[in-house]
Amino acid sequence: MRTYLDCMSCFVRQALEASRMVTEDERIQRDVLDSVMEMLPKLSFHVTPPEIASVVHRMVKDVTGNPDPYKEVKKRHNQLALNLYPRIKEIVAQSDDRLLNSIKVAIAGNAIDLGVQGHVKDIEGSIHAAFSFKLIINNYDEFKERLMQCNFLLYLGDNAGEIVFDKLLIEEISMLKDMEIVFVVRGEPVINDATMEDAEFVRMGDKVRVIPNGSDAPATILSQCSPEVRQLFSEADMIISKGQGNYESLSREDKPFFLLKAKCPVVAGDLGVNVGDIILKSRVVE
């Protein structure tokens, strides 16, 4: 998915919010904004939004001197999700279609996104509401069929906190079919995206092998990923791609199933849905 003019204000907002995570000094915040606004006109719109976002957030880190502005927020979201996990797992276990409802919960977790304006404040309410969600793009039957034929699943994670509900989905998948599953996180901190530190905090490694993708982009940009991740992407029988960033960077790939909530007009427009809709989409090559 290419970058649009509407994305520009989002990049500037992200830069300001990230700088405010680090410092109350308005001089530093202004330095961040000045650097970002000077850089943005020089970048091509033919790249994906996460490719530009990665440059923006590197600049934030350089100017502020803080390598992980969202570190404490991520810890809080991870702990909040862990506190919710036992009850949500119990509700899923009692539901008529455990796989479908665990997918809905995992997508509801995608609302924990600090890269998007107006991100969800009531995380607990959003997760509990997931069971009544309607998938606006619904390729569930194809998803389940592919899953039952799968021997190696590559799961591309997105945000901290959200990964607790990815873990729940992985547990349900593992009960349906014995397969190898590898969970991929970001290689370096960026926004509130999950890293190895977050995966360790929620004990994702108890369920599956977890690896970093080798990149500091808020997405899976294959050209920036490690050789191992690119090879696994090629070899996987099935790929689950979580979140807007991964959709933006991989929307023209034919292998992933995209699980996300459309949280901004640009992504919603690309998908042909409304902001707030939840999506389980297989990629159909045009």
Pairing relationship of beta strands 256-261 and 152-156 according to DSSP bridges: unpaired
Whether 98 and 210 map to the same domain: the answer is yes
What are 11-46's pLDDT values in tens digits?
A: 999 999 999 999 999 999 999 999 999 999 888 888
Encoding tokens for residue 110? Answer: 């995608």
- Domain range spanning residue 184? 71-282
Whether 176 and 217 map to the same domain: the answer is yes
User: Tokens 């042909």 appear where?
Assistant: 272
Answer whether residue 276 is part of any domain: yes
Whether 116 and 175 map to the same domain: the answer is yes
Answer whether residue 1 is part of any domain: no
Range with the poorest average pLDDT among 5-9, 85-89, 155-159: 5-9
Whether 113 and 129 map to the same domain: the answer is yes
Please give the model's pTM, rounded to 2 decimal places. Answer: 0.94
Answer whether residue 265 is part of any domain: yes
Distance CA 51, CA 73 (A): 23
What are 135-144's pLDDT values in tens digits?
A: 999 999 999 9
Answer whether residue 150 is part of any domain: yes
Closest among 201, 207, 210 to 183, alpha carbons compared: 210
Select from 38, 64, 90 the last residue of a domain. 64
Residue 259 backbone dihedrals phi, psi, to 5 degrees: -115, 115
Task: Give SS3 for 14.
Answer: helix
Task: Give SS3 for 286.
Answer: coil
Beta strand segments in the chain, E: 135-138, 152-156, 180-185, 209-212, 238-242, 256-261, 278-282
Encoding tokens for residue 35? Answer: 């650097």
Distance CA 260, CA 263 (A): 9
Whether 187 and 243 map to the same domain: the answer is yes
Return the CATH number at 19: 1.10.8
pLDDT at 285: 45
Encoding tokens for residue 48? Answer: 């994906």
Answer whether residue 30 is part of any domain: yes
Whether 92 and 150 map to the same domain: the answer is yes
Total structural domains within the chain: 2
Distance CA 250, CA 225 (A): 13
Strand partners, 180: 152
